[in-house]
Amino acid sequence: MNLAIKDIRHNLGRFILTVLGIGMLLMIVMGMAGIYRGLLEDATLLINRIDADLWIVQKDTRGPFAEVSRVPKSLVYRVEAVPGIQSSREFVYHTIQRQHNGKPIRMSVLGLSWPVDKGEWLPLISGRALRQNHFEIVADKTLGLQLGERIPLGKETYTVVGITSGMVSSGGDGMAFTTIQDSQAIQFDSSGESVRLERAARDSRGQENELFLSQPALTEQLARPTAELPGVTPPPLSAVIAKVAPGADPLQVEKIISSWGDVSVFSRHGQEELLVQGMVDKAKRQLGMFRVLLTIIAAIIMALILYTLTLDKIHSIALLKLIGAQNHVILGLILQQALLLGGLGYGIAWAVGQKLFPHFPRRVVLTNDDLIQLAVIVCVISVLSSLLGIWKAMRVNPNDALMG
């Protein structure tokens, strides 16, 4: 006869409520781990998807994900000329926030190296990759845009031609993909007034310059669009990414590029490390602290509940001792209830989490390792929390059964 089950059936309502409470608490603990894993996965998702061997960024910066990095477009060709490089391409990445349909929409825009890269590697759930050089955009579903929807960005309007799933930035913003040119147009968009003011300023500076005074025809050149001025460099890239040729030594290639005075080079692993250590580490520690606190709180609540359940059974325990029940019977009664409480709470945490976590604003990723780790923790706190009740039960005198 299982006394633990019999007692639970006798106090079923209270036990169910307790299990639900513990379950909710454990669900939060589980969710904390899931949020951290989600952060980690989001942070490294793009790096993994892009699958570049080398990231060449502005000298002494930590790359486009950690801080602003600007490199000239010509760097693509310099990198490509390095022995051991299979291919190199532009990387433009920036985050914008605009109003759309009366609501703020925040997105991380990634430029695709058209026509080499049309975004076929993106995890599309509907629509297609880019088919033209301009005015098409592929958006992640978290942005809430619909296929075929038109969204004005800068001076142009872009049509959503594809929807991806799970493509979010390390900051949790949904990603949008355009060609490099469109991406830069969005990034460096200026209003008509600021363009006019810039031209006027240029003209004004020209009026004071001896060269322009001696050759007035040049002054007219200053009024042309910025992109057409030979003395003005094209918009910079965030980084250049490169693939190392099969058989080439990536370290050797990295060493060559590192020797250049204007850039820093990171391997894919290095870029990942930077992201994890720089952006995710604090969040990891924060979430870790919460997990520890919540686990302790869960253990304390479980201990109190088990202690109360034991107090309710003191007379029965005394009676069991009176009729000769061995200590292991009493111990088993309390320990089994503790483990059932923890086990069922864990099950509820998992089941409710499966339904609830997908609706969280940020991705919650439950890994088997984390689930197993939490299961072990729940087992441990179940045993620990039952100690108080067991201690009380072991002190019960069979004589107490006669007290009525």
Partner 1 sequence: MSDELAIETISISKIYGSGNTEVVAMRDASVQVRRGEVIALLGPSGSGKSTFLTAVGLINPPTSGQVRIGGTLVMDGPRAAVNLRSFRRRHIGYVFQKSNLIPFLSAIENVQIAMELNGMTSRAARTRAAELLDELGVGDRLDHSTAMLSGGQQQRVAVARALANHPSVILADEPTAALDSHRGRQVMELFRNVAREHGAGVIVVTHDQRTLEVFDAIYEMEDGVIHQQKRKVESATVPERG
Chain positions contacting partner 1, by CB under 8 A: 1, 3, 6-7, 9-11, 313, 316, 319-326, 329, 397-399, 401-402, 404
CA distance 171 to 95: 10
Find tokens 């993994």 and name the residue: 48
Minimum distance of partner 1 from residue 339's CB (angstroms): 18
Minimum distance of partner 1 from residue 378's CB (angstroms): 25
Contact call for residues 48 and 281 (beta carbons, < 8 A): no
Minimum distance of partner 1 from residue 19's CB (angstroms): 17
Minimum distance of partner 1 from residue 28's CB (angstroms): 32
Minimum distance of partner 1 from residue 398's CB (angstroms): 5
Longest dimension (CA), the chain: 118
Contact call for residues 291 and 297 (beta carbons, < 8 A): no
Contact call for residues 173 and 95 (beta carbons, < 8 A): yes
- 181 vs 316, beta carbon nearer partner 1: 316
Minimum distance of partner 1 from residue 303's CB (angstroms): 21
Element (H, E) at 338: helix 327-356
DSSP-derived secondary structure for 243-310: EEPTTS-HHHHHHHHHTSTTEEEEEHHHHHHHHIIIIIHHHHHHHHHHHHHHHHHHHHHHHHHHHHHH
- 8 vs 287, beta carbon nearer partner 1: 8
- 201 vs 329, beta carbon nearer partner 1: 329
CA distance 186 to 346: 48
CA distance 144 to 146: 7
- 194 vs 397, beta carbon nearer partner 1: 397
Nearest Cα to 346, choosing from 302, 387, 309, 306? 302
**CA dist list (Å): 222 to 8, 204, 228:** 86, 10, 10
- 15 vs 266, beta carbon nearer partner 1: 15
Minimum distance of partner 1 from residue 383's CB (angstroms): 23
- 381 vs 401, beta carbon nearer partner 1: 401
Find tokens 């069991």 and name the residue: 320
- 7 vs 117, beta carbon nearer partner 1: 7
- 57 vs 335, beta carbon nearer partner 1: 335
CA distance 48 to 59: 23
CA distance 15 to 345: 11
Minimum distance of partner 1 from residue 403's CB (angstroms): 9
Minimum distance of partner 1 from residue 325's CB (angstroms): 5
- 124 vs 319, beta carbon nearer partner 1: 319
CA distance 3 to 5: 6
Backbone angles phi, psi at 145, to 5 degrees: -85, 150
